[in-house]
């Protein structure tokens, strides 16, 4: 029996649905698939006017592109299309989950078809929600020109600004592993650093990561007694995953895909190939080094002694780090990737738990005359150390059959207790939670809230609009209000989706609240008035 094959109830092994588990299948899934395809097409069109186009791209000289990016009406229409398309994709994902019913029969095929259909328009988008993909081209150029991206930023390149990268990358060292730098150099070698062609090839690499997830997420889920279609719907079909990994072309897609494949192989007792695939994932982005201790536990076996566990931990680390050390020889990269683990980026994001709580502590402390900034820093540092403590606890305590679940929780702790959380960071651990069970209660509702929040955040935060364009309302505010209106529709007006976050229909809840208030009022009234009020309430409650 393997670490993944015990079929113990890791969290929720019921095949249930994301909303109403006992309800029959709600029609065929193709309706939601078509709706999502339309949303992705809207995003494609909207990206032309508000996505990130490199200064060196010939696209900016096309008449249609010029109109959509320089005319007020063009920017406004593009903003609404991009935002409404992303929210329509959100609704399609929710409806797909509802329409799959009890996840029987051909439900896995339906999820795969939906992922394919929704990804196709996003493959050809102008980069949206992030422009990190342009920095990849710059880092590929650094390697090609014999420079070390672990030591210098892309500002050392001639005409680097035309690549389209965020100026924040100008002096920053790369946080990526050697294998991704090899791939970036290969892309630049094929495209000559032409921005649009480079983006397309980086998307192909990201698509390979998505494909690995499509293949191995259902397999890993089935090892844990979890329905593979549901796990795939949760982790890969969700709009944040597709937008971040296809439209934005983040290299995290390849990192996650290799990690999921490696964990699956290790969970089925193919330990050496599993370690090598996880090592390949670390070579894309080093954060997945967190998975190695749990791979070592799987290798040690279900009844291993502590000396054997330590031996397998040492063997796992030795194989992985040995391969990575050898991988640093080409292009003289060395082990520069370790800085991304040892010297994390300073600062915080206000929507991370650590960042938000730190802000509140700082504000309260300052009001009391205390050193708020220092106390906030202490709190964030304490939360980072708490994450490390949780990783160690999960390494040393827990059932062998729950090794992948423990891995998922450790990964979640490190991300969620970090002071910096980018929207796509939650996608690092989501597949591992999905394959070991996400229940149809507060857990799935938390996912709905998180995905919606980051889709709305990305839609209004990452828009490329030239400052000279005159708009009656700035594009960021227009995107925010569009997303807010669509969210209100999903929560209150849509008869299908409004039940996902709120038990019962909102209007029914309002009616019940009104009747309760009237009943309380009647109880406080004396004599005939009280009787009349009580009778009226009784009439309303009578069918």
53-103: per-residue pLDDT in tens? 998 899 988 999 999 999 999 999 999 999 999 999 999 999 999 887 666
The token pair at 431 is 């597949």
**Chain centroid to CA 188:** 27
Q: What are phi and psi of 319, to 5 degrees?
A: -65, -50
- Please indicate whether residue 500 or residue 185 has the higher confidence score (pLDDT): 185
Q: Is the pLDDT of residue 503 over 50?
A: yes
Residue 162 per-residue DSSP state: G
Q: How far from the centroid of its chain's Cα atoms is residue 471's Cα? A: 32
Q: What is the pLDDT confidence band of residue 233, given thresholds at 50, 70 and 90?
A: very high
CA–CA separation, 413 and 407 (whole Å): 10
Q: Quick check: 335 pLDDT over 50?
A: yes
Answer for the pair 404, 294: CB distance below 8 angstroms, yes or no.
yes
Rounded alpha-carbon distances, angstroms, from residue 85 to 47, 50, 88, 440, 482: 10, 13, 5, 27, 10
How far out from the chain centre does Cα 164 lie? Answer: 24
Locate 129 and state its tokens. Answer: 């929600």
Question: Which uninterrupted H or E stretch holds 535?
Answer: helix 527-541
Neighbours of 529 (CB within 10 A): 11
Q: How many CB atoms lie within 10 A of CB 26?
A: 18
Q: Which CB contacts under 8 angstroms, 24+ apart, belong to 500-508?
A: 500/18, 500/19, 500/94, 500/445, 500/448, 501/445, 501/448, 501/449
Answer whether residue 538 shows pLDDT above 50.
no
Asked if pLDDT for residue 542 goes beyond 60, the answer is no
Q: Which residues have CB under 8 Å from 12's CB, separation 6+? A: 226, 437, 438, 439, 440, 443
Q: 213 pLDDT exceeds 50?
A: yes
Q: Is the pLDDT of residue 24 over 80?
A: no
State the residue for tokens 């194989």. Answer: 319
Six-digit token string for 223:
């090892």
Q: Mean pLDDT score of the chain, rounded to an integer?
A: 87
> CA angle at residue 291 from 436 to 414, to 5 degrees?
85
Torsion, Cα 6 11 14 15, to 10 degrees, reads -90
Task: Provide the pLDDT for residue 103.
Answer: 61
Give the span between the Cα atoms of 83 and 456, in whole angstroms: 8
Q: Which helix (H) or strand (E) holds 446?
A: helix 442-461
Instruction: Give the mean pLDDT of 336-351.
Output: 78
**Mean pLDDT of all residues in 190-194:** 93
399 in Cβ contact with 2 (< 8 Å): no
CA nearest to 479, candidates 38, 40, 46, 41: 46
Q: What pLDDT does residue 16 have? A: 39
- Mark 192-216 as b/e (b = at least 16 C-beta within 10 Å): ebbbebbbbbbbebbbebbbbbbbb
Q: Exposed, middle or buried by CB within 10 Å (0-12, 13-18, 19+), for 538?
A: exposed
Task: Round to whole Å and give the CA distance between 108 and 228.
Answer: 7
| Residue bearing the bigger pLDDT, 480 or 340 | 480
Proportion of the chain above pLDDT 90, given as a percent: 69
Q: Are 388 and 369 in contact (CB under 8 A)?
A: no
- Interhelix angle 506-524/527-541, nearest 10 degrees: 160
Pure H helices in 145-237: 178-191, 195-223, 228-235
CA-based nearest residue to 136, from 111, 166, 109: 166
What beta strand segments (E) does 120-165 contain? none
Kindly calculate the radius of gyration of the chain based on its CA atoms and give it in whole angstroms: 26
Range 341-348, long-range pairs (CB < 8 A, 24+ positions): 341/286, 341/287, 341/289, 344/418, 344/420, 345/175, 345/420, 347/419, 347/420, 348/380, 348/419, 348/420
Quick check: 400 and 431 in contact, CB under 8 A? Answer: no
3-state secondary structure 188-207: HHHHCCCHHHHHHHHHHHHH
pLDDT of 481 reads 94
**First CA to last CA distance, the chain:** 56
Please give the average per-residue pLDDT across 286-295, as a whole number: 96
Q: What does the block give as tokens for 291?
A: 């998975």
Taking residues 205-232, what's their average pLDDT?
96
Tokens representing residue 264 in the block: 């699956």
Q: Which residue has the tokens 């971040």?
A: 244
- Residue 536: pLDDT band (50, 70, 90) is very low
**In the 3-class helix/strand/coil scheme, how is 276-300 assigned residue by residue?**
HHHHHHHCCCHHHHHHHHHHHHHHH
In the structure, what pLDDT confidence band is assigned to residue 414 with cuts at 50, 70 and 90? very high
Q: At what angle do helices 426-436 and 195-223 cross, to 10 degrees?
A: 20
Confidence of residue 514 (pLDDT cuts 50, 70, 90): very low
Say what the pLDDT of residue 45 is: 96
């Amino acid at each position: 029996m393997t670490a993944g094959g015990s079929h113990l109830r890791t969290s929720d092994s019921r095949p249930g649905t994301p909303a109403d588990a006992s309800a029959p299948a709600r029609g065929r899934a193709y309706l939601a698939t078509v709706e999502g395809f339309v949303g992705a097409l809207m995003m494609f069109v909207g990206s032309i006017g508000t996505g990130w186009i490199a200064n060196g791209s010939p696209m900016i000289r096309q008449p249609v592109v010029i109109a959509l990016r320089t005319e007020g009406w063009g920017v406004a229409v593009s903003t609404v299309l991009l935002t409404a398309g992303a929210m329509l994709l959100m609704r399609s994902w929710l409806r797909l989950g509802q329409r799959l019913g009890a996840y029987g029969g051909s439900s896995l095929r339906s999820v795969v078809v939906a992922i394919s259909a929704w990804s196709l328009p996003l493959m050809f988008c102008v980069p949206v929600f992030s422009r990190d993909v342009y920095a990849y081209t710059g880092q590929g150029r650094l390697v090609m020109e014999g420079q070390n991206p672990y030591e210098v930023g892309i500002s050392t390149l001639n005409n680097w600004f035309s690549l389209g990268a965020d100026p924040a990358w100008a002096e920053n060292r790369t946080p990526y592993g050697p294998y991704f730098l090899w791939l970036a150099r290969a892309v630049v070698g094929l495209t000559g650093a032409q921005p649009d062609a480079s983006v397309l090839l980086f998307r192909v690499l990201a698509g390979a990561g998505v494909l690995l997830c499509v293949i191995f997420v259902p397999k890993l889920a089935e090892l844990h007694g979890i329905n593979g279609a549901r796990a795939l719907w949760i982790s890969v079909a969700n709009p944040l995953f597709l937008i971040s990994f296809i439209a934005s072309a983040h290299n995290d897609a390849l990192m996650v895909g290799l990690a999921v494949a490696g964990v699956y192989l290790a969970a089925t007792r193919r330990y050496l190939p599993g370690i090598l695939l996880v090592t390949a994932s670390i070579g894309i982005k080093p954060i997945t080094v967190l998975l190695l201790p749990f791979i070592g536990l799987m290798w040690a076996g279900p009844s291993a002694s502590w000396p054997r566990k330590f031996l397998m931990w040492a063997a796992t680390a030795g194989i992985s780090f040995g391969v990575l050390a050898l991988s640093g020889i080409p292009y003289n990269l060395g082990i520069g990737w370790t800085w991304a683990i040892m010297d994390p980026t300073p600062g915080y994001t206000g929507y991370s738990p650590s960042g938000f709580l730190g802000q509140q502590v700082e504000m309260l402390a300052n009001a009391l005359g205390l050193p708020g900034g220092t106390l906030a820093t202490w709190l964030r540092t304490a939360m980072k150390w708490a994450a490390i403590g949780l990783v160690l606890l999960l390494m040393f305590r827990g059932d062998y059959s729950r090794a992948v679940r423990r891995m998922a929780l450790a990964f979640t702790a490190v991300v969620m207790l970090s002071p910096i959380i980018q929207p796509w960071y939650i996608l690092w651990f989501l597949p591992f939670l999905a394959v070991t069970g996400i229940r149809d209660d507060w857990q799935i509702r938390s996912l709905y809230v998180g995905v919606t929040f980051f889709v709305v955040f990305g839609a209004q935060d990452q828009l490329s609009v030239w400052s000279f364009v005159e708009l009656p309302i700035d594009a960021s505010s227009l995107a925010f209000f569009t997303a807010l209106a669509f969210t209100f529709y999903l929560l209150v007006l849509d008869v299908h989706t409004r039940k996902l976050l709120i038990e019962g229909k909102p209007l029914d809840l309002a009616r019940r609240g009104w009747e309760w208030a009237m009943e309380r009022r009647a109880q406080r009234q004396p004599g005939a008035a009280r009787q009349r009020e009580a009778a009226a309430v009784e009439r309303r409650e009578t069918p």
